[in-house]
Chains A and B, each alone.
Chain A
Amino acid sequence: MEYEVIVVGGGHAGCEACLATARMGHKTLLITGNIKNIADMPCNPSIGGSAKGIVVREIDALGGQMGKNADQSLLQLKMLNNKKGPAIKALRAQADKITYPQNMWKTICETKNLDVKEALVEDLIVENNRIKGIILENNEKIYSKTVILTTGTYMKADILRGSMRRREGPHGEKPSNHLSDNLARLGFIIKRLKTGTPARLEKSTIDFSKLQIENGDSEYHTFSFDNAPTYDVDKQIPCHLIYTTEQTHEIIRNNLNKSSMYGGLDDIQGIGPRYCPSIEDKIVRFSDKERHQLFLEPESIYYDDMYLQGFSTSMPEDVQELMVHSLRGLEKAKILKYAYAIEYDSIYPTQLKRSLETKLIENLFTAGQINGSSGYEEAACQGLIAGINAGLKLENKDPFILKRSDAYIGVLIDDLITKGIRDPYRLLTSRAEYRLLLRHDNADLRLREYGYKIGLIDEKQYYKLLNKKQGIIDLTNKLKEIKITPKEEINQYLIKNNSSIIKDGISLYNLLKRPEITFENIKHFVDIDYSDEVLEQVEINVKYEGYLLKAEKEVEKMLKLENKKIPLNIDYDKVKNIASEARQKLKEIKPTSIGQAIRISGVNPADISVLMIYLKKEFKNEYK
């Protein structure tokens, strides 16, 4: 039988991809090496975080699963940057490593049009540069109209620890040994990357009385726009803060040459993530720092492992014992799993279209770590986009493309396909130039409509969105219409609430602009009956109007350039007078618009001018 979609890999990217295509009504097969590891969290027991938390909201707004699944698997939930501006708030959860995969598995089982098969994929069936299906380890062929590769770290995975290198994936799983070679044979540029994970410790052997406690928020939040909270704020599981000691640093310095990365192994090719350095890296690079901060995070309520965040290492096991025991409160801690580094193959992401379809092979999509990203959320959102676009392709529809001004997801994909990568890519707030517009609170306003059109958001969810939108418009108009005058009692009230008096009539809209005035004060002057979500939107719009306008103006500028399309059949060798570095980059990345071309490093404004003139001349009709 032939499938419409095959998804290879059951991690966070794979789950979102197969759920999206199945929900869009396309017969889908998920192939995974081990069903038990579906939606597994092999590293942090955590979902969200700065920027990443906003991505989870975006996934939810588009009709993805990660937010809903996280809401049902919480150990602890926190709003980061809560006291700062609205643009950078983001949710971070400690998620239960047993419950999260279980809930995801349940959802997958309940989803129509979705089959699951346990197997390893080693090759692809390709005819005339178009994907036809996959070939399993046992040479079995399964045919499909589209294929989405979400292989995570499993292509040629090597576990590294001290001088040990072993061909295996996380949890000792079997890796795929030939898929990346076969991709290379098809013309893909393969890049070796590296990441790592710290040790897991036995909870009962830790002296928590010596550690600083880190609790979740005392107010309720949810990732999903559709869920009510299902957890109890008073029963959240805490994290704990630990610092490295002088003794820890000394042990690491004395044993440095035993670390895989510092001489233990001499054949390391993979480049590790800068945002996630090993503890030995931190001590070497920041040698004057007296201590480094670590977190102990609970993994699950069903077993005893604690995750030691900030302490990833590729030291041999005996040195790891010394290192862990040098930490306060962990003097007698038992190590259940040793830290390790892992090397794996990925494809260089500039070989992808914005839809995450590969440029080389039609109907083949890739998402997640195979594209050089890192992190569950980064993977999940790519899986969702790849799934949506595979579905749209099957329906003969235009691909769904998110712009940098639409979503963090758009920033991530544009960065990957335009700039390529040096080390595993992590989303950061600083990567988004329009972060003021890409907020936690407005992900639904930005994206739900798209989800509805694609078919992943139902009528009820859509109706809720329309209601919210209308509420925002109504309340804004109301505030603009209602004016207060400088009466004695009004000024008395303002003084009492640490605000300055008014001398002329002023609309409530302008009064709310004052930093010290909130809706609590506005309610003193007028009855307001709107949801907290509506109040939040209106207050942000009013208070930060100037900054928002500035950002929107910047977006407008960018969009003009994005709308200047570059035809796919352009031959850059025919464009005279382009600098050779720029020509090479343009040929490699094949930007689809002038806006994207400008973001390629090595392409200068002069090259852009020449390119635009060439386009005008050669593509008179297409080029607008």
Chain B
Amino acid sequence: MEDTIVAIATPLGVGAISIIRVSGTEAIKIVNKIFSNNNLHKVKSHTINYGFIVENNEKIDEVLISVMKAPKTYTKEDIIEINCHGGIATTNKVLELLIENGCRLAEPGEFTKRAFLNGRIDLTEAEGIMNLINSKTETARKLFINQLSGRVSNKIEKIRQDIIEVLANIEVNIDYPEYEDIEKMTLEMLKPRIEELKKTIRKVLDESKNGKIIKEGIQTAIIGRPNVGKSSILNALIEEDKAIVTDIAGTTRDIVEGQINLDGILLNFIDTAGIRETTDIVESIGVNKSKEIINKADLILFVLNNNNEIHEEDIKILENLKNKNYIIIINKIDLESKIDINLIKEEKVIEMSILNNIGIEELKQEILKIFNLNKLELNDLTYLSSSRSIAILKQINSTILDIEKAIDLQLPIDMIEIDLKEIWNKLGEIIGKSYENELIDQLFSQFCLGK
């Protein structure tokens, strides 16, 4: 209840800057861990501090950090506000880092709740908050359970079941050490199970594809031969989107040429070498280079010029697009058609004319269709809680590493079990289950015990 909480305080993905707010006794300590200057505990209260958010010496974002020490703050606790560079990817990355380092994601209304509990706001305000908390927790609870697709949640339930069997076995060895015909769980037996667990957790992390799309956006590449109109298509997309965060090195993974917010989902346009070249520079990106780009992208927009014949190179690129999500755009349909559509053997192409504003809307709909995004619930809560699950999974991942180390050191299995129990409880948190007497029940249903 008095742990340190964190939340994104500004609307997501809109605006050039977003603010992450952290409140609680460990706020300064936790933020300091990921702040390049590592000096937040020394700075004066109510100051703004410049630096970088870093993870393993890698710069995540350039930020301004406001330090406000208790009690003169909104919650009457220590508060830190981090001003990040907007964009869902960056903000979310910072949020995740904070959670990994010990913050808990705030419940809806929790900052206000703390403000009240700590005597910052008065009773009249509090009555209103009561209702807010009631309704919001109910919503939060539903979202919490619905957050991961059924498939993932079943998978987590399955992992928990596997773990509880191991836990019950170890506990039974502790509580009934004289029962010789109960199998003794040893480190050798535990080791492959932990390896298996590690693989499964990693897989769940990787496979949370929807989660990842929400989290990081769709890596999008616009490819095509010079002078097909790639940059004008990008500009057209960007111009329509007022919430643009443009020309920043958004993530550490790829250089992002630009981002657009498509019904709440980010499209990150990744470096397509020459996408912004002007028409008079003759440059061919070459088949090899395009292969590389195709591999990196989640979505490829392949642009052909209506006014040109299809080039041999186009056919080769087309072959490379198999097994990827791609959309073929025939641009410049306002000009005379010289293209032989039959050569590309595609059922659906999008005909486009930037000049006459034809095809952009159709392109957007097609993208939403390909990623099944119409069905995704995209309100903030879903987004946040899914991000929370991913952060918990990452914590679990690091506990697994602790366990592996402990097994290598040949520590007693009952010590290692403490970490395994923690993983089991954390998985329960993700799917909204508390442990209650589950373990004791398991003990007595799995083994035949007693005098």
Contact status B117-A612, CB under 8 Å: yes
Question: At the interface, yes or no: B138 with Cβ under 8 Å from chain A?
Answer: yes
Alpha-carbon gap, A84 to B131, bound state (A): 52
Determine whether the beta carbon of B409 is less than 8 Å from that of A515.
yes
Chain A residues, Cβ within 8 Å of B448: 277, 282, 285-286, 289, 292
- Closest chain A residue, CB of each to CB of B182: A293
* Minimal beta-carbon separation of A578 from chain B (angstroms): 10
Say whether B312 faces chain A, with CB atoms less than 8 Å apart.
no
Once the chains are docked, how many angstroms separate the CA of A224 from the CA of B1?
A: 40
Judge if B436 is at the interface, Cβ distance under 8 Å: yes
A-contacting residues, B233-270, CB 8 Å = none
Interface-central residue, B113, B414, B437, by most chain A CB under 10 Å? B414
B141, B181, B413: the one within 8 Å of A84 (CB): B413
Given A274-B444, A276-B450, A431-B440, verify A544-B179 contact (CB < 8 Å): no
CA distance A374 to B243 in the complex (A): 67
* Nearest CB on A from B280, distance (A): 63
CB distance from A457 to the nearest CB of B (A): 30
- Contact between chains at B175 and A605 (CB < 8 Å): no
| Chain A contacts for B126, CB-based, 8 A | 613, 616-617
**Contact at B130–A429, with CB atoms within 8 Å?**
no
On chain A, the residues within 8 Å of B436 by CB distance are 601
Residues on B with beta carbons closer than 8 Å to the beta carbon of A616: 116-117, 126
B137 lies within 8 A of chain A by Cβ: yes
Question: Across the interface, do A50 and B130 meet the contact criterion of CB distance under 8 Å?
Answer: no
Q: Determine which of B2, B116, B137 lies in contact with A613 in the assembled complex, contact meaning CB atoms within 8 Å.
A: B116
Q: Is A430 touching B171 in the complex (CB atoms < 8 A)?
A: yes
With both chains docked as a complex, state the minimum distance between the C-beta of B286 and any C-beta of chain A, in angstroms: 51
Give 24 CB contacts A-B under 8 Å: A50-B177, A51-B175, A80-B178, A81-B174, A84-B413, A87-B414, A87-B415, A273-B450, A276-B451, A277-B450, A285-B448, A293-B180, A428-B443, A430-B175, A431-B440, A436-B418, A515-B411, A594-B1, A608-B1, A609-B113, A610-B130, A613-B126, A616-B116, A617-B126
Partner of B418, one of A282, A293, A312, A547: A547
Bound together, the chains give a CA A157 to CA B282 distance in angstroms of 101
B266 to chain A, nearest CB (A): 32
- With an 8 A cutoff between CB atoms, is B50 at the interface? no
| B439/A430 in contact, CB under 8 A | yes
Cβ-based interface call for B123 (8 A): yes
Within 8 A of A (CB), among B429-451: 436-437, 439-440, 443-444, 448-451
Q: Does A526 contact B (CB under 8 A)?
A: no
Q: How far is the CB of B431 from chain A (nearest CB, A)?
A: 15
Q: How far is the CB of B127 from chain A (nearest CB, A)?
A: 9
Chain A residues with Cβ below 8 Å from B130 are: 576-577, 610, 613
Residue numbers in A under 8 Å from B440 (CB-CB): 428, 430-431
Structural contact, B175 and A291, CB atoms closer than 8 A: no
Asked whether any CB of chain A lies closer than 8 Å to the CB of B38, the reply is: no
Chain A residues within 8 Å of chain B by Cβ, number: 58
Report Cα–Cα, A285/B446, bound state, in Å.
10
Q: Measured between C-beta atoms, what is the minimum distance from A414 to chain B in Å? A: 14
Q: What are the interface flags for A399-439 relative to B under an 8 Å C-beta threshold, 1 for contact and 0 otherwise? A: 00000000000000000000100000000111100001000
Instruction: State whether the Cβ of B412 lies closer than 8 Å to any Cβ in chain A.
Output: yes
5 further A-B pairs in the complex, CB-CB below 8 A; given A87-B414, A606-B137, A613-B129: A50-B174, A85-B414, A310-B450, A577-B134, A617-B123
Residue A73 at the B interface, CB < 8 A?
no
Asked whether, in the complex, the Cβ of A547 is within 8 Å of the Cβ of B175, the reply is no
Q: With the chains together, A551 CA to B422 CA distance in Å?
A: 11
Chain B residues packing against A (C-beta within 8 Å): 1-3, 113, 116-117, 123, 126, 129-131, 133-134, 137-138, 141, 171, 174-181, 409-415, 418, 436-437, 439-440, 443-444, 448-451
Q: Which 10 A-B pairs have the closest CB atoms?
A: A85-B412, A606-B137, A276-B450, A286-B448, A430-B171, A309-B451, A85-B414, A50-B175, A274-B444, A85-B415
- Find chain B residues with CB under 8 A from A312 CB: 451
Interface: A561 (CB within 8 A): yes
Judged by a CB distance under 8 angstroms, whether A483 is at the interface is no
List A587-610 residues whose CB lies under 8 Å from chain B.
594, 601, 605-606, 608-610
| Binary contact track A480-517/B, C-beta < 8 Å → 1, others 0 | 00000000000000000000000000000000000100
Instruction: Decide if B177 touches A80 in the complex (CB within 8 Å).
Output: yes
Are B443 and A430 within 8 A (Cβ)?
Answer: yes
A295/B178 contact (C-beta < 8 A), A310-B450, A428-B443 known: yes
Who on chain A is nearest to B422 by CB?
A: A550
| A464 cross-chain contacts in B, Cβ below 8 A | none
**Which B-chain residue is minimally distant from A554 (CB atoms)?**
B422
**Chain B residues near A519 (CB, 8 Å)?**
none
Which residues of chain A have C-beta atoms less than 8 A from B131's C-beta?
Answer: 577
Given contacts A84-B174, A88-B174, A241-B180, contact A550 B451 (CB under 8 A): no
Smallest CB-CB separation from A279: which chain B residue? B450
Report A-chain residues with C-beta under 8 Å of the C-beta of B113: 609, 613
| Nearest CB of chain B from residue A91's CB, rounded to whole Å | 12
Could you tell me the distance between the alpha carbons of A44 and B137 in the complex, rounded to whole angstroms?
Answer: 51
* Contact A84:B180 (CB < 8 A) given known A428-B171, A613-B129: no
A557 within 8 A of B: yes
CB distance from A158 to the nearest CB of B (A): 21
B137 contact set on A, CB distance < 8 A: 605-606, 609
Select from chain B the residue with minimum beta-carbon distance to A308. Answer: B451
How many pairs of residues, A versus B, come closer than 8 Å at their CB atoms?
119
Given A85-B415, A557-B3, A606–B175 Cβ distance below 8 Å? no
Interface of chain A residues 545 through 576 with chain B (CB within 8 A): 547, 550-551, 557, 560-561, 564, 576
In the complex, are the beta carbons of B171 and A429 less than 8 A apart? Answer: yes
A44 and B451 within 8 A (CB): yes
- Do the beta carbons of A275 and B449 come within 8 Å of each other? yes
Q: Is A198 an interface residue (CB 8 A)?
A: yes
| Chain A residues near B415 (CB-CB < 8 A) | 85, 87, 436, 544, 547
| CB of B16 to closest CB in A, whole Å | 35
Tell whether, in the assembled complex, residue A429 and residue B134 are in contact, meaning their CB atoms are under 8 Å apart: no
Q: In the assembled complex, how far is the CB of residue B110 from the closest CB belonging to chain A, in whole angstroms?
A: 9
Chain A residues, CB < 8 A from B409: 515
Residues of B within 8 A of A241 (CB): 180
From A50, A428, A610, contact of B133 by CB (8 A): A610
Per-residue CB contact flags for chain A residues 273-316 toward chain B (1 = under 8 Å, else 0) read 11111000010011001011101000000000000011010000
A535 to B45, CA, bound (A): 46
Query: Given contacts A430-B440, A610-B133, is CB(A81)–CB(B177) below 8 Å?
Result: yes
* Complex Cα gap A276–B449 (Å): 7
CA of A282 to CA of B179 in the docked complex: distance in angstroms?
Answer: 14
Chain A residues in 8 Å Cβ range of B413: 84-85
* Residue in chain B with minimal CB distance to A78: B178
* Chain B residue nearest in CB terms to A273: B450
Nearest CB of B to A236, in Å: 16
Min CB distance A112 to B, Å, is 38
Within 200-250 of A, Cβ neighbours of B (below 8 Å) are at 214, 241, 243
Are the C-beta atoms of A610 and B134 separated by less than 8 Å? Answer: yes
- Taken together as a complex, chains A and B put the C-alpha atoms of A610 and B117 apart, in Å, by 11
> What separation, in Å, do the CA atoms of A616 and B129 have in the docked complex?
13
Q: From residue B405, how far is it (CB to closest CB) to chain A in Å?
A: 10
Q: Name the one of A50, A198, A292, A613 contacting B117, with C-beta atoms under 8 angstroms.
A: A613
Q: Which chain B residues border A50 with CB–CB below 8 Å? A: 174-177
Separation of A289 and B183 alpha carbons in the complex (Å): 13
Residues from chain A with Cβ under 8 Å of B141 in the complex: 606
How close is B337's CB to chain A, nearest CB, in angstroms? 63
B414 near A84: Cβ-Cβ < 8 Å: yes
Neighbouring A residues of B444 by C-beta, 8 Å: 274-275
Asked whether A293 lies within 8 Å of B181 as measured between CB atoms, the reply is yes
Chain B nearest CB: distance from A277 CB in Å? 5
* Interchain CA distance A289-B171 in the complex, whole Å: 20
- Which residues from chain A contact B418 at a C-beta distance below 8 Å? 436, 547, 550-551
A50 vs B113: C-alpha distance in the bound complex, in angstroms? 44
Closest residue of chain A to B118 (Cβ to Cβ) is A616
Distance, CA A526 to CA B274, complexed state (A): 71
- How far, in Å, is A227 (CB) from chain B's closest CB? 24
> Which residues from A are CB-within-8-Å of B171?
428-430
